[in-house]
Amino acid sequence: MEKLTTKDLMSLEQYARERAAFRARVLEHKRPRRIAVGPNCTWLFEDRLTIQYQVQEMLRAERIFEPEGIEDELNAYNPLIPDGRNWKVTLLIEFPDENVRRAKLAELKGIEDRCWVQVSGHEKVYAIADEDLERENEEKTSSVHFLRFELTREMIASYKAGAALGVGIDHERYRHEVSEVPREVHAALAADLN
C-alpha cells in the first residue's frame, strides 16, 4: 500500500465540510477490520484509509495547517500502513471502570508481545510491538499498542487462496483466541496483502 502524502489530505476547511460523510465511510470500512479477542481486547487492522482518517483527525484536533506539522503527522502515522507483506494492528485494551483498568493494565504487562496470528497450515506469527516508542513502564502496560505481523510468501499465498486465519493472545493473565476470523474480515485483510 502506498504511504500517504500531503496530496491525499484535505485542508482543515475542506475536512470540516466533509468530516461527517468521511467519518461515516471510514467507520463502515473499519467494521470488517475490527476483531474482539476476548472480552477486553479489540484489534483494528489498519490500512491506508483508516490511517488517513487518523491523520485528518489529528490535524483537526491540533489545528495543524503548517507544512512541517503536517509532515510530522504523516511521518508518525505512515508506518502504520501495511506494506503488502504484513498486517498492522492497533490493539485496544478496554476496561470501562478506571480502577479496574488501572489494576488490569498492571497485570497485563507484556500482553502486546503475546498477540499472534496464524494462517491455517502455518506457524503462529507473534507481533512486533510498539516500534515507535515504548508503551509500557515498570508499573503497567498502555491501553493502546501498535502491532506488526510479518508474513512469509507462503503464508500470504495460502491466505489469498482461502486458508483460514486464527488470531489470539496467550498472555498468562489473558488467554483468548478467535479460531477463525469471519469471512468479511478475511476478505478485508486479503486486500492488504500482495
Would the CA dihedral through 192, 82, 52, 67 be positive or negative?
Answer: negative
Q: What percent of the chain has pLDDT over 70?
A: 98
Mean pLDDT, rounded, of the chain: 95
pLDDT band at residue 133 under the 50/70/90 scheme: low
Residue 88's beta-bridge partner residues?
148
Nearest to 87 by CA among 145, 138, 41, 44: 44
Residue 185: in which H helix or E strand, if any? helix 183-190
Burial class (CB in 10 A: 0-12, 13-18, 19+), 39: exposed
Domain ranges across the chain: 6-190
Q: pLDDT tens-digit profile of 90-119?
A: 999 999 999 999 999 999 999 999 999 999
- Check pLDDT > 80 for residue 136: no
Contact 26, 160 (CB under 8 A): no
Indicate the angle between helix axes 153-160 and 183-190, nearest 10 degrees: 130
Task: Tell me the three-class secondary structure of 4-70, residue by residue.
Answer: CCHHHCCCHHHHHHHHHHHHHHHHHHHHHHEEECCCCEEEEECCHHHHHHHHHHHHHHHCCCCHHHH
Look up the pTM and report it: 0.92
- Check pLDDT > 90 for residue 172: yes
Largest Cα separation within the chain, whole Å, is 50
Higher-pLDDT residue of 138 and 58 is: 58
